[in-house]
Structure 1
């Protein structure tokens, strides 16, 4: 550990981050009206930030367009007025407008606030020339959680010189350290038609905006008030359901209550009663060609809010086997794809000094033969230095049986962004142990990962082990009794003054053995070449060679069983795509090769049409044609999205999905009207159809209307 910290401090001297001292609005000067005009007297008293610096495509160069950023505050809120000048205003790209929709294809402004000045966690707010709102939480310098929704205000307006946006962020919305007058801060502007990125701080290609440790400082923040810190959010839903298979229809009215109280400016307690998930987003369907259970991410707001505090990284990006806590285990019967009522729940999250913590307790109703259950999880992290931490996690309860289950885990995350001056390095180790009623076996899991995730070079190496009887009842595990060794290496070039923006090659490999070191799976996946031009269009050639040693047969498709044996197979995949900033964006993937005892041909086509800020449509088709000795089959999965966005506060989103494995089509249509931030109406229409020989028969329909209101004190 001492060697690691020494390496972090060694090397080239690190540049001092920029600093700006804020001016508070004088008494008698009204807060600016958020209308996108910058003509209020308040802006005359605001602090004007220094210039931005280009990061991409040319590190350290002046931006192609000027940006003026003004910041001021009073006791209630922080105010920002930003004039994004543009010499060709008719070429500004701004097609996104839906709340929390992706703004990556657009010209946009993103703002980072490290309100505890801990150099690792922050709030992020993004907007564009349409006044769209996207917000979220940055956790541990490495991940962005867009599921967090705060109450804040913004308006934007196009001008002959570019575009203007104004923002007001109430202090009731964000936690902060009241004893410190300094916040970490960064701002990023993207000029999308040039694929250009500019920042106030950390203007280096090896850093990302979410590297909170690289942010600059805002000083002079004093006398901030949050009232008594109480938000009361009552809601109610009216639902009607028709089930054709059971020949019945029924309706119900469900009131719900959420209460949030800031015990201190840095600690929040939340209470939910009769939690309502009727307006939650539907799962995105997947087709499973493996013998292991698929992972579906959480979509419910109650569990997504502050979810980052419960994160327990167990490996590289996307690793899920062995997660100690997976909130979809609560309030959801995965065996029957059915919702289980949550009667009440409580949550406390926050920071006290160097300690970060989160505690969640939920009372779940009984279902099938399972009694009502109390389920709990606790997570604690102790900050070490500027970027590292030591953590503990504990869970209790089994939502799918009447037995008992508990888990204890610990993790150590050592991170530096100062290796050799400005390079990032991470060392991570973790351990878990479960206790379950019944026979005792190998119920432990552990792992470690060393990574060097940088722009020009990126590499990682890790080992993990999951015991045969490891059973996290509130977590996720789909393969036990295995040891996994994995590694990756990527090299990226950024040619200067060339039509190519990125040239990249990579290699990823993993080996899975049983605990007796007998091979079970082997994967070698090279990216021979990936090219990306200045606009963002790309071409890639990938391969994947695999070995699977089956100790038992498994049914890969209806009536097609792959028998016990060793199988060696591989596939080549060619991918080509256009930049998402284009009005019509296309991505095509074509793959072919051997597969178990035969061959496979796979394809994916994605078409996205951003007609205007009011209309977005996409079509996606995935197909696998498999020919095996044991039988032939073809899987198809289709997705269609249609979004009508009338204003930044009023949208109608429709999502259709079809797959020929379940022979069903799902329809989800959601009308959302945000009367003002914190007050909204939502109407949801879910419809499921059985599809057999093109005979569409609706077997379940569900209509829901929901109103939610937030009262702040």
Structure 2
């Protein structure tokens, strides 16, 4: 307990320390108003560009962070009354073609030659926006949170062009002021530029960033110095209507064709340059890609991230409260089994120190399941403290409306309400070496049946060589979060980890070193129920290929019945104890190759003195930049005593991405999941005929593998248009 209290004290002391100025405050790029019209064509020929200041002499981040970059990059920025402009000359160091996956937007960072802009328009080193492109012209845009994380599900309206030359490629873009949020009157924005050149295996940044941190780290931005405050965006209203038609059929139950004819509307209203109101009426989320299936051998519910646009901007205020396994709010719970009728969300900055988020969503009733209409309210208020830390309070309420359950009914009984109140302190030191969190939650439910408490904290130190993290969690048995993701209750967890990396002076090896961790779970009587202890050794080559070897020991005392195959229906008894040793490997090939591959293996013991063997692979080949082919496989062999015997599962997922242009995409994705006896076929056509305006055609089939039989089928056509008032 003394160690925990000492850790919490250190979190507070580190988080409230301040520095006289930003780390990279001496890196300044002046930006002046354009003296000529800018044409987005990838050609550096306008007068405004000739007069603009140049950010050059980038610093290397990897493989080393102690010298200037060998690859030259030149950046210029300007603006007019409507747009922020950027043009980047990405010079070649090594002859040969660029490396990209495809023309699909929001590409994988490490698998593409690319240039990215990281922008902190509040200069708070915590929140911002990212824009960029790969060398073939595929766009990248995302919203930034937690000082360096980028959510690529965010999508907005902007234009860009990439033009390739023999010795360079040029990226030019116009970002409307209406598409971003920024503090009124501020004349200094945090900014940094990142360049990845796979042929040279070099990542660089304009303002230097230590190699243990991502180039997106807002703690290390330089300064974009405006000649005058950025212009106000003026009337900032975006109307985004959609129209949808579709048909589906349930063959399993000999169903008839079910037709869909729907219209809906989203609206984005900029109340100020930094505060936004989102409205939605009868929303539909058909454009969301199908979730990637996984073989589930876990005792707890799996997590799939939110991708729906309405929930994303400033979504960290709601979704990032807590930890990965303690989320009091998880937006995918809304509209899961009932249609969303309407909703509103207010979010953004009140001033430099305060952020606010308020959301209300209303769902309709589902008579077949006796599911009442429900209202969801979430309120969050965040205050920045110290250098880059903050304190956040949150309130979550799920309320059933006009609901009088009949206890004698065979239909499920839903709760009248579920509420959560929480407070969280997030640490981020000015140099990003220290990060951490302290949080507490209290839940409320009818008749006190779901009244429970949560406390958790962690403290992490990340230097150039050494990384260590202490984390502990407590979740009471009665804690409930019906709009959250808390797969496990009634436990106390202690989870320390430590790792070290050496960076040798080698032409082939970038880094290598060990990781060690142990995780303990205890019940309310402080009886140990779980423990996993592991040792791993990591190796990273300068070519960016990676290898890891690990060894682990597991102990589990089951708290409830569990089927170790998640398939047979036969379960192990509560209270039974199981322990085993296992080892495995992970490898990923260098991303520069047209043919890429990765694999992971796992061998060792399993429940009931059994054995489990697992091999996962992923193969990819690209005919850049137009075609990307991938094949993922996952094979599990589980050997157990009777009544389970020997069980084998295959999960196979071929995928073809066809990107005819950077506005025309076609994807076919097949998933064969032997564990749930299903074959899923999903094909999706997308035409982005204008920025942020799309036509989607989505076709989905689900089959029973043997005998080959159609379970259900659907076809959806959807049209969306983004109109700025």
Instruction: Give the Cα separation in 1 of the matches to 2:164 and 2:439.
Output: 50
What SS does the aligned partner of 1:264 have? coil
What SS does the aligned partner of 2:501 have? strand
C-alpha displacement of 1:532: 1.6
Q: In the alignment, what sits opposite 2:361?
A: 362
Matches within 5 A, 1:108-187: 108-187=114-193
Q: Deviations over 1:426-477 (max 9, x none)?
A: 2311000111013446611111111113441111111111111100111112
Instruction: Give the Cα separation in 2 of the matches to 1:249 and 1:708.
Output: 25
Q: In the alignment, what sits opposite 2:622?
A: 610
Q: In the alignment, what sits opposite 2:211?
A: 205
Match of 2:335 among 328, 331, 335: 331
5+ unaligned residues in a row in structure 2: which ranges?
1-8, 401-412
Is contact 1:145–1:308 with CA below 8 Å preserved after alignment? Answer: no
Is contact 1:488–1:506 with CA below 8 Å preserved after alignment? Answer: yes
Instruction: Give the Cα separation in 2 of the matches to 1:224 and 1:306.
Output: 22
Are 2:613 and 1:601 equivalent residues in the alignment? yes
C-alpha displacement of 1:12: 14
Q: In the alignment, what sits opposite 1:351?
A: 349
Question: Do the aligned partners of residues 374 and 104 (structure 1) sit closer, same or farther apart at CA in structure 2, a change above 3 Å counting?
Answer: same
Q: In the alignment, what sits opposite 1:404?
A: 417
Match of 1:244 among 248, 251, 258: 251
Q: In the alignment, what sits opposite 1:341?
A: 339
C-alpha displacement of 1:252: 1.7
Q: In the alignment, what sits opposite 1:583?
A: 594
Q: Deviations over 1:377-413 (max 9, x none)?
A: 1111100022100110111015782421111000011
Q: Deviations over 1:248-303 (max 9, x none)?
A: 11212110100110000010001000001122111211222122222222232222
C-alpha displacement of 1:636: 1.7
Instruction: Give the Cα separation in 2 of the matches to 1:426 and 1:376.
Output: 30
Match of 1:225 among 229, 232, 248: 232
Are 2:658 and 1:644 equivalent residues in the alignment? yes
What SS does the aligned partner of 2:199 have? helix
Instruction: Give the Cα separation in 2 of the matches to 1:619 and 1:234.
Output: 36
C-alpha displacement of 1:51: 1.9
What SS does the aligned partner of 1:438 have? helix
Is contact 2:24–2:221 with CA below 8 Å preserved after alignment? Answer: no
Instruction: Give the Cα separation in 1 of the matches to 2:241 and 2:23.
Output: 49
TM-score, normalised to structure 2, is 0.92
Instruction: Give the Cα separation in 2 of the matches to 1:8 and 1:507.
Output: 30
Instruction: Give the Cα separation in 2 of the matches to 1:224 and 1:602.
Output: 57
Relative to its length, the structure with more strand (as a share) is 1
C-alpha displacement of 1:313: 4.3
Q: In the alignment, what sits opposite 1:558?
A: 568
What SS does the aligned partner of 2:43 have? coil
What SS does the aligned partner of 1:309 have? helix
Are 2:104 and 1:105 equivalent residues in the alignment? no
Q: In the alignment, what sits opposite 1:533?
A: 541
Are 2:386 and 1:385 equivalent residues in the alignment? yes
Instruction: Give the Cα separation in 1 of the matches to 2:318 and 2:26.
Output: 30
- Tell me the matched-pair count: 693
Match of 1:654 among 635, 659, 668: 668
Match of 1:491 among 489, 492, 500: 500
C-alpha displacement of 1:226: 1.3
Question: Do the aligned partners of residues 172 and 513 (structure 1) sit closer, same or farther apart at CA in structure 2, a change above 3 Å counting?
Answer: same
Question: Do the aligned partners of residues 430 and 6 (structure 1) sit closer, same or farther apart at CA in structure 2, a change above 3 Å counting?
Answer: closer
Instruction: Give the Cα separation in 1 of the matches to 2:264 and 2:213.
Output: 43
Instruction: Give the Cα separation in 1 of the matches to 2:483 and 2:97.
Output: 50
Match of 1:288 among 289, 292, 296: 296
Question: Do the aligned partners of residues 96 and 548 (structure 1) sit closer, same or farther apart at CA in structure 2, a change above 3 Å counting?
Answer: same
Q: In the alignment, what sits opposite 2:696?
A: 682
Instruction: Give the Cα separation in 1 of the matches to 2:230 and 2:477.
Output: 56
Is contact 1:583–1:609 with CA below 8 Å preserved after alignment? Answer: yes
C-alpha displacement of 1:688: 0.8
TM-score, normalised to structure 1, is 0.94
C-alpha displacement of 1:496: 2.0
What SS does the aligned partner of 1:666 have? strand
Q: Deviations over 1:487-541 (max 9, x none)?
A: 11111112123311121210121100101100111011211x2212111122221
Is contact 1:120–1:386 with CA below 8 Å preserved after alignment? Answer: no
Q: In the alignment, what sits opposite 1:337?
A: none
C-alpha displacement of 1:50: 3.6
What SS does the aligned partner of 1:562 have? coil
Q: In the alignment, what sits opposite 2:716?
A: 704
Is contact 1:468–1:480 with CA below 8 Å preserved after alignment? Answer: yes
What SS does the aligned partner of 2:332 have? helix
Question: Do the aligned partners of residues 498 and 11 (structure 1) sit closer, same or farther apart at CA in structure 2, a change above 3 Å counting?
Answer: farther
Instruction: Give the Cα separation in 2 of the matches to 1:313 and 1:401.
Output: 25
Match of 1:72 among 60, 74, 78: 78
Instruction: Give the Cα separation in 1 of the matches to 2:298 and 2:69.
Output: 48
Matches within 5 A, 1:338-487: 340-353=338-351, 354-367=353-366, 368-397=369-398, 401-418=414-431, 424-440=433-449, 443-487=452-496
Is contact 2:92–2:167 with CA below 8 Å preserved after alignment? Answer: yes
User: Which piece of structure 1 moves more, 41-50 or 501-510?
Assistant: 41-50
5+ unaligned residues in a row in structure 1: which ranges?
334-339
What SS does the aligned partner of 1:405 have? strand
C-alpha displacement of 1:667: 1.1
Instruction: Give the Cα separation in 2 of the matches to 1:378 and 1:12.
Output: 33
Instruction: Give the Cα separation in 2 of the matches to 1:274 and 1:687.
Output: 25
Q: In the alignment, what sits opposite 1:96?
A: 102
Is contact 1:89–1:159 with CA below 8 Å preserved after alignment? Answer: no
Q: In the alignment, what sits opposite 2:285?
A: 277
Q: Deviations over 1:62-103 (max 9, x none)?
A: 222221111111111111111111143424213331122324
Is contact 1:88–1:162 with CA below 8 Å preserved after alignment? Answer: no
Instruction: Give the Cα separation in 2 of the matches to 1:227 and 1:51.
Output: 36
Q: In the alignment, what sits opposite 2:409?
A: none
Q: In the alignment, what sits opposite 2:5?
A: none
Is contact 1:281–1:300 with CA below 8 Å preserved after alignment? Answer: no
Instruction: Give the Cα separation in 2 of the matches to 1:653 and 1:285.
Output: 16
Q: In the alignment, what sits opposite 2:405?
A: none
Q: Deviations over 1:324-365 (max 9, x none)?
A: 1001110003xxxxxx21000000001012111111100101
Instruction: Give the Cα separation in 2 of the matches to 1:10 and 1:688.
Output: 57
What SS does the aligned partner of 2:310 have? helix
